[in-house]
Structure 1
Amino acid sequence: MPGLAGRVALVTGAGQGIGAAVARSLWELGVSVAATDLQGEAVAALADRLAPSPGADDGPADGSRPILRPYALDVTDPRAVERTAAEVGDDLGPIDILVNVAGVLRTGPAAELTDADWSRTFAVNAGGVFHTARAVAPGMAERGRGSIVTVASNAAGIPRTGMAAYAASKAAAVMFTKCLGLEYARHGVRCNVVAPGSTDTPMQRSLWTDPESPRRVLDGDLATYRTGIPLARIADPQDIADAVVFLASDRARHITMQDLYVDGGATLR
């Protein structure tokens, strides 16, 4: 995959699921990865499994030996994001790739959501993307290159019952990413979106209430006005990571402000 080896990536929500798959995939392709998550122990475990942390005297990544280093990070805290971005720059080098995966899901009928549900969902899913992009995009522009990929959801493009806050927050993240891409295109910074459908992650499994739940995801559910998945399979996190890696690489060097749906055809787009 051209244009990846020797670069530095910051991945949010890397403790599990899609974020962990993205961090692993980039690292395996020679990218030094700052794996961040609110659950610091989760990214620490990921780093221990894949790439034990180097010693303090090993210096920054030089492209010949990629590093996967964990950082505890709350993306809703703008000061923490700025500090972590600066720390990553000192530890690994200037950030070339940003992948926004961190997200939360609060479900319930639209008119019954609490203020806390709404605020928390937007703080993470939309505010987190804003904070991380603001921290790294200017530096990318100064260097004349960079790739930002936001992992949103196909729910950002189609109404879902019981998911108003999640869908609205992801739609906000999508449009922010596209506007950022328009403003930074002349500086060589590409900004794209990957929109997964149902993917086998802890978040997806939290929605399953009985053994038939996966089958309803595949077949669709008339009671909730939901189509099934034409490809008849629930995505693996690696399916989403592969799309992210492509958009981050130089094979997508002429692609920006795009929204790539990876949902097995579920939204019939």
Structure 2
Amino acid sequence: MSALVTGAARGIGAAVVAALTADGHEVTATDIEKPTGELALALDVRDEAMVGWAVAEAERLAGPIDVLVNVAGVLRAGPVAEFSEADWLAVFDVNAAGVFRVSREVGRRMAARGRGCIVTVASNAAGVPRVGMAAYAASKAAAVQFTRCLGLELAPAGVRCNVVSPGSTDTAMLRALWNGSDGTGTTVAGDPGQYRGGIPLGRIADPADIAAAVAFLASDRARHITLQNLYVDGGAAL
């Protein structure tokens, strides 16, 4: 089986590539800068023409895409009153419109073949308000609802579409929010001043935890699951 993963150079995306490869998929890894590996392509999900080229090239290299995983994402934080329109649009261009562009291109091919699976990696912030993260949360909420609507449209063709929503995960994106300090304790315990609950399981996720959920939804074990949003956040969104 062939899989395409966006945002695959590091963090959750790289873990998804490893998990799908372990499950026997031939994975084409893509990112804005070409990832390492034999099957890898540079892909800027903001560029419609480049998306079309990358999907066609991935199918040329590894055969018809059976699994698409949308991981590519960006985070720009700040209070709404001080947030620029340029930053708002930049976040949506990747986190929401990027998911649309890639899913549309792959989804139409899957529908024509009568099979396939799309998994979008969103965030628990899509369902839980976060101080200073309005653009990120709103863009991820858009990606969640888009993926579920797409799943409804593609279900008659036998294509499944689901979402995995991580909470705090040990990635460069999370650590950037800590501004160079170790924010593990505060993240796990929560911060009432920021209206942020803690993590009941008492740990920050490893990227492999998220990838395991993606791999499950991409497998035949989940053959009757579609339109769902699986939170993988240690209970943080309670």
TM-score bucket (shorter structure): over 0.9
Q: 1:182 aligns with which of 133, 140, 152?
A: 152
Q: 2:49 aligns with which of 76, 79, 82?
A: 79
1:55-134 alignment, distance < 5 Å? 69-134=39-104
Q: Report the Cα offset of residue 209 of structure 1.
A: 3.1
Render the CA deviation track for 1:126-173: whole Å, top value 9, x for unaligned.
011000011111111111110000000000001000000000000000
1:96-245 alignment, distance < 5 Å? 96-209=66-179, 211-245=181-215
- The amino acid of 2:162's aligned partner reads N
2: CA distance, partners of 1:28 / 1:201: 21
2: CA distance, partners of 1:203 / 1:70: 22
Q: Report the Cα offset of residue 210 of structure 1.
A: 5.7
- The amino acid of 1:263's aligned partner reads D
Q: Secondary structure at the match of 2:88?
A: helix
- The amino acid of 2:74's aligned partner reads V
1: CA distance, partners of 2:177 / 2:216: 29
1:4 matched residue in structure 2: none
| Higher CA-based Rg | 1
1: CA distance, partners of 2:141 / 2:5: 20
2: CA distance, partners of 1:89 / 1:222: 48
2: CA distance, partners of 1:171 / 1:13: 18
Task: Compute the RMSD of aligned alpha carbons.
Answer: 0.8
Q: Report the Cα offset of residue 211 of structure 1.
A: 4.0
Q: Report the Cα offset of residue 212 of structure 1.
A: 5.0
Q: Unpaired runs of 5+ in structure 1? A: 1-6, 48-52, 54-68
1: CA distance, partners of 2:180 / 2:156: 50
Compute the TM-score of the two structures, normalised by the length of structure 2: 0.98
- The amino acid of 1:32's aligned partner reads E
1: CA distance, partners of 2:40 / 2:29: 5
1: CA distance, partners of 2:237 / 2:103: 28
Q: Secondary structure at the match of 2:177?
A: coil
- The amino acid of 1:9's aligned partner reads A
Compute the TM-score of the two structures, normalised by the length of structure 1: 0.87
- The amino acid of 1:209's aligned partner reads N
1:58 matched residue in structure 2: none
1:9 matched residue in structure 2: 3
Q: Unpaired runs of 5+ in structure 2? A: none
2: CA distance, partners of 1:97 / 1:147: 5
2: CA distance, partners of 1:100 / 1:220: 28
Aligned length: 238
